[in-house]
Amino acid sequence: MKRKILKWSVILVVTGLAVGAVGAQQTNEVEQLRKELREMRERMQALEQKLGSIEQKPAAPVPVIAETVPSAASTWKPSDPVRVSKGGAYMDIGMVATFAAGGSTASDIEGGTQLGGHDPNQRGFTVQGAELNLQGAVDPYFRGNANIVFQLDSGGESFIELEEAWLETVSLPGNFQIRAGQYLTEFGRINTQHPHTWGFVDAPLVSGRLLGEDGIRNPGARFSWLVPTPFYSELFFGVQNSQGGTANGFRDDHGGEGFLGRVNTQGRVKTAGDMLYSTRYAASFDLSDTQTLLAGASAAFGPNGSGADTDTQIYGMDIYWKWKPANAHAGFPFVSWQTEGMLRRYQAGASTTLDLTGDSVADFAPRETLTDWGFYSQLLYGFHPGWVAGLRGDYVTHSKMGAYEDLYGADAERAMRWRISPNLTWYPTEFSKIRLQYNYDDRDGIGTDHSVWLQFEFLLGAHAAHKF
Amino acid sequence: MKKLLLGTLGALLAFSVQAKLTIVITTPDLGAIAKEVGGDKVEITTLARPTEDPHFVDAKPSFIVKLNKADALIEGGAELEVGWLPSLLTGARNAKLASGQPGRILCNEGVHMLEVPSQLTRAEGDIHPMGNPHFIIDPANAKIIAAHLADAFAKLDASSADTFRANGKKFTDTLDAKLVEWQMKLAPFKGAKVVSYHKSWPYFAERFGLEMDLFLEPKPGIPPSPAHLADVIAKMKEQRARVIIVDPYLNRKTAETVARSTDAKVVDVAQMPGGVKGTDSYIALLDYLVNSIANALTEKK
Render chain B in DSSP notation, one character per residue.
-HHHHHHHHHHHHHHHHHHSEEEEESSHHHHHHHHHHHGGGEEEEE-S-TTS-TTS----HHHHHHHHT-SEEEE-SSSTTTTTHHHHHHHH--GGGSTTSTTEEETTTT---S---SS--GGG-S--TTS-S--TTSHHHHHHHHHHHHHHHHHH-GGGHHHHHHHHHHHHHHHHHHHHHHHHHHGGGTT-EEEESSS--HHHHHHHT-EEEEESSSSTTPPP-HHHHHHHHHHHHHHT--EEEE-TTS-HHHHHHHHHHHT-EEEE--SSTTSSTT--SHHHHHHHHHHHHHHHHHHT-
Q: What is the model's pLDDT at position A72?
A: 42
Specify which residues A432 forms β-bridges with: A429, A458
What does residue A352 show for φ and ψ, rounded to 5 degrees?
-135, 35
Q: Minimal CA–CA distance to A238: which of A168, A306, A195, A185?
A: A185
Out of B64, B79, B95, whose CB is closest to A232? Answer: B64
Contacts of B85 in chain A (CB under 8 A): 465
Chain-chain contact of B62 with A62 (C-beta, under 8 angstroms): no
For residue A178, tell me if it sits in a domain.
Answer: yes
Three-state SS sequence of chain A = CHHHHHHHHHHHHHHHHHHHHHHHHHHHHHHHHHHHHHHHHHHHHHHHHHHHHHHHCCCCCCCCHHHCCCHHHCCCCCCCCCCCCCCCCCCEEEEEEEEEEEEECCCCCECCCECCCCCCCCCEEEEEEEEEEEEEECCCCEEEEEEEEEEECCCCCEEEEEEEEEEEECCCCCCEEEEEEEEECCCCCHHHCCHHHCCCCCCCHHHHHHCCCCCCEEEEEEEEEECCCCCEEEEEEEEECCECHHHCCCECCHHHCEECCEECCCCCCCCHHHCEEEEEEEEEEECCCCEEEEEEEEEEEEECCCCCCCEEEEEEEEEEEEECCCCCECCECEEEEEEEEEEEEEEECCEEEECCCCCCCCEEECCEEEEEEEEEEEEEEEEECCEEEEEEEEEEEECCCCHHHHHHCCCCCCCCEEEEEEEEEEEEECCEEEEEEEEEEEECCCEEEEEEEEEEEEEEECCCCCCC
Q: Is residue A105 part of a domain?
A: no
Q: What angle do CA A419, A420, A423 make, to 5 degrees?
A: 135
Residue B26 in contact with residue B45, Cβ under 8 Å? no
Which of B57, B58, B97, B173 to mutate against chain A (most A CBs within 10 Å)? Answer: B58
Whether residue A286 is contained in a domain is answered as yes
Predicted pLDDT of residue A168? 96
Binary contact (B112, A143; C-beta < 8 A): no
Cα angle, residue B27 at apex, residues B26 and B32 outer, rounded to 5°: 115
Listed residue (B17, B20, B16, B15) closest to B40, CA to CA: B20
Cβ separation of A68 and B179 shorter than 8 Å?
A: no
Check if the beta carbon of residue A378 is closer than 8 Å to that of residue A339. Answer: yes
State whether B59 and A68 contact (CB < 8 Å).
no
The total number of structural domains that make up chain A: 1
Model pLDDT, residue A58: 42
- Distances in Å between the Cα of A358 and the Cα atoms of A354, A408, B49, B56 are 9, 10, 65, 58
Q: Which of A226, A232, A468 has the CB atom closest to B93's CB atom? A: A226
Comparing CB atoms, the residue among B68, B126, B223 nearest residue A226 is B68
* Phi/psi at A216 (5° precision): -95, 120
Domain contains A125: no
The predicted pLDDT at position A88 comes to: 59
Q: What are phi and psi of B253, to 5 degrees?
A: -60, -40
Please give the pLDDT value at position B5. 56
Of residues A168, A170, A468, nearest to B98 (C-beta): A170
Q: A65 and B55: CB-CB below 8 Å?
A: no
Q: Round to whole Å and give the CA distance between A77 and A404.
A: 71
- Whether residue A3 is contained in a domain is answered as no
- Which of A307, A339, A59, A58 minimizes the C-alpha distance to A207? A339
Residues of chain B neighbouring A330 (CB-CB closer than 8 A): 53, 55-56, 221
Q: Is residue A110 part of a domain?
A: no
A residues 442-461 lying closer than 8 A (beta carbon) to B: none
- Nearest Cα neighbor of B164 from B178, B176, B149, B179 is B149
| Cβ neighbours of B123 in A, within 8 Å | none
Residue-wise pLDDT tens for chain B (301 aa)? 555 555 555 554 444 445 799 999 999 999 999 999 999 999 999 999 999 999 899 999 999 999 999 999 999 989 899 989 999 999 999 999 998 999 999 999 999 999 998 888 888 887 888 899 999 999 999 999 999 999 999 999 999 999 999 999 999 999 999 999 999 999 999 999 999 999 999 999 999 999 999 999 999 888 899 999 999 999 999 999 999 999 999 999 999 999 999 999 999 999 999 999 999 999 999 999 999 999 999 998 7
Nearest to A83 among B87, B120, B250 (CB): B120
- CATH code for position A372: 2.40.160.10
Domain boundaries, chain B: 2-106+130-179, 185-299
- CB-based contact, A79 to chain B, within 8 Å: no
CB contact under 8 A, A329 and B87: no
Q: What is the pLDDT of residue A19?
A: 46
Interface contacts (A, B; CB < 8 Å): 146
Collect all residues of chain B within an 8 Å Cβ-Cβ radius of residue A292: 58, 60-62
Task: Give residue A5's pLDDT.
Answer: 52
Q: Is A174's Cβ below 8 Å from some Cβ in B?
A: no
- Residues of B whose CB is below 8 A from A385: 223, 251
pLDDT at A65: 41
Contacts of B113 in chain A (CB under 8 A): 71
Q: Which residues of B touch A137 (CB under 8 A)?
A: 99
pLDDT tens-digit readout, B117-162: 888 888 888 788 889 999 999 999 999 999 999 999 999 999 999 9
Residue A390 belongs to domain spanning: 136-145+155-451
Architecture in CATH of B185-299: 3-Layer(aba) Sandwich (3.40)
Residue in chain B lying closest to A70 (CA): B110
pLDDT in tens, chain A (468 residues): 445 554 555 454 444 444 444 444 555 666 676 777 677 776 766 666 655 555 444 444 444 444 334 444 445 555 554 444 445 568 889 999 999 999 999 999 999 999 999 999 999 999 999 999 999 989 889 999 999 999 999 999 999 999 999 999 998 999 999 999 999 999 999 999 999 999 999 999 999 999 999 999 999 999 999 999 999 999 999 999 999 999 999 999 998 888 999 999 988 888 998 999 999 999 999 999 999 999 999 999 999 999 989 999 999 999 999 999 999 988 999 999 999 999 999 999 998 888 888 888 888 899 999 999 999 999 999 999 999 999 999 999 999 999 999 988 999 999 999 999 999 999 999 899 999 999 999 999 999 999 999 999 999 988 777 788
Burial of A445 (0-12, 13-18, 19+ CB in 10 A): exposed
Strand partners, A133: A94, A147
Longest Cα–Cα distance of chain B, Å, equals 83
What is the pLDDT, as a whole number, of residue B124?
83
Residues of B in contact with A80 (CB under 8 A): 118
Any domain includes A44: no
Tell me which residue in B87, B120, B250 faces A465 most closely, judged by beta carbons.
B87
Closest-approach residue (CA) in chain A for B220? A429
A3 in contact with chain B, both atoms CB, cutoff 8 A = no
Backbone φ and ψ of A434, nearest 5°: -130, 130
Chain B positions touching A140 (Cβ under 8 A) are: 98
Q: Which residue of A has its CA nearest to B60?
A: A468
**CB-side exposure of B63: number of CA atoms within 13 Å?**
25
Which of chain A's residues have a Cβ under 8 Å away from the Cβ of B207?
Answer: 63
pLDDT at B148: 97
Task: Write the CATH number of the domain with boundaries B2-106+130-179.
Answer: 3.40.50.1980
Instruction: Please give the pLDDT value at position B202.
Output: 96
CB atoms within 10 A of CB B122: 16
For residues B81 and B59, give the distance between their C-alpha atoms in angstroms, rounded to a whole number. 10
- Identify the pLDDT of residue A85: 46
C-alpha B242: how far from chain center: 26
